[in-house]
Chain A
Amino acid sequence: DAKTTQPNSMESNEEEPVHLPCNHSTISGTDYIHWYRQLPSQGPEYVIHGLTSNVNNRMASLAIAEDRKSSTLILHRATLRDAAVYYCILRVLYNTDKLIFGTGTRLQVFP
């Protein structure tokens, strides 16, 4: 199964942009790239997903490399409520349906 690699932790100041990187060099052509975040003692929360093209929604933007071997989640203006563990996940759909979770990036946001 394809795997993702993320930095263990990142820091940001409030109201600054944050770029969270993810490598997925063994991604298959049918795998979707999903991002979720998880606050302490809560279930993961969907953030955004994409296949080949860059995506924007009210929470964030997703930039996908042309070869799809890496992607970046962009939080345009970090707030204290954005402090969480962010998971870059591949949704594997060939002969199955599962989210392959990595270890995630713990984002700290400072006032």
Chain B
Amino acid sequence: NAGVTQTPKFQVLKTGQSMTLQCAQDMNHNSMYWYRQDPGMGLRLIYYSASEGTTDKGEVPNGYNVSRLNKREFSLRLESAAPSQTSVYFCASSESLLGLVGYTFGSGTRLTVV
């Protein structure tokens, strides 16, 4: 089925370790996004990419970097993981930056930093 694919689904890191969360979409969408969701809360935007080659900060970008590798792929990197980054991470994509259509979300990556 077409959609947004995230890998890995689960990950446990030690404080200070680094890792990259991968995201790919096969809907030919221009815009892609990374969100985090803490327990009992709504999602908060980390970074987004309006098109291939561009990225912009969202609400909570500190501690993260992103790469828009091509139109399909948007990765999120934690250079030095901290316990405060324990969360569920969602990638999303959208056909338009102009709010005219909805987002499609992946199933999430559950990250625990110990």
Q: Is the CB of A102 within 8 A of B42?
A: yes
Say yes or no for A53: interface residue by CB 8 A criterion: no
Q: How many B residues face the partner with a CB closer than 8 A?
A: 25
Distance, CA A36 to CA B4, complexed state (A): 16
When the two chains form the complex, which single residue of B43, B45, B97 contacts A44, counting CB atoms closer than 8 Å?
A: B43
Distance, CA A46 to CA B3, complexed state (A): 13
Q: Is the CB of B105 within 8 A of A43?
A: yes
Query: B40-51 toward A: CB 8 Å interface, digit per residue (1/0)?
Result: 111111001010
Distance, CA A98 to CA B40, complexed state (A): 20
Say yes or no for B103: interface residue by CB 8 A criterion: yes
Q: How far is the CB of A26 from chain B (nearest CB, A)?
A: 17
Q: Which A residues fall within an 8 A CB radius of B?
A: 32, 34, 36, 41-47, 49, 87, 91, 93, 96-99, 101-104
Q: Which B residues fall within an 8 A CB radius of A?
A: 4, 31, 40-45, 48, 50, 56, 58-59, 90, 92, 97-99, 102-108
